[in-house]
Amino acid sequence: MAVLDIVLWPDTRLTETCVQIEEVTDEIRTLAQDMLDTMYAAKGRGLAASQVGAMHRVFVMDVGWKEGKSDPLICINPMLSEIGEDRATMEEGCLSIPGVLAEVNRPSQVQLVWSSLEGARYVQSFDGFGAACVQHELDHLDGIVTLDHLSADIRVDLIAEYQAAQ
């Protein structure tokens, strides 16, 4: 078990696109386990590799663990395979932007495809908070953070709030 340092905004690694994982090596296995340890230690529900400075397409999430419904997922090369038409706005925190919540509008139902560490392919639908979490973590793999979804004036205000909180 290892708890890694979390990269904080505006570190430029958070703006970079992560690279497809061609082979699950011991390095990737260790990274994924450390990411789960790091996410739980930081009291988060999702964490993408770029948030610990590893530029691979993998994220971890466990939406319900704080409510006693733990379901840890390690998602290798995740992709959306379906996107619902309805949208919802949710307050999203981010372990790389601690202390502020951003209201982000996204599709409220998505289907995610990913590979496990063992190479099995998974397909699962998410709605509610899970849908927001999946899209939030996918965004990280493409160098996008919650702030990038906001209008210019709200973004400026939230950045000021973030900087004041550090």
Residues of this chain that interact with Ni ion (CB under 5 A) are: 94
Q: Which residue is nearest to Ni ion (CB)?
A: 94
Rounded CA gap, 137 and 159, in Å? 20
Minimum gap (Å) between residue 6 Cβ and Ni ion = 9
Minimum gap (Å) between residue 121 Cβ and Ni ion = 25
Closer to Ni ion by Cβ: residue 75 or 94: 94
Rounded CA gap, 32 and 38, in Å? 10
Closer to Ni ion by Cβ: residue 24 or 47: 47
Closer to Ni ion by Cβ: residue 76 or 97: 97
Which two tokens mark 76? 């290798």
Which of the residues are catalytic? 137
* Cβ-contact 139, 145 below 8 angstroms: yes
Rounded CA gap, 29 and 101, in Å? 31
Rounded CA gap, 34 and 27, in Å? 10
Minimum gap (Å) between residue 132 Cβ and Ni ion = 11
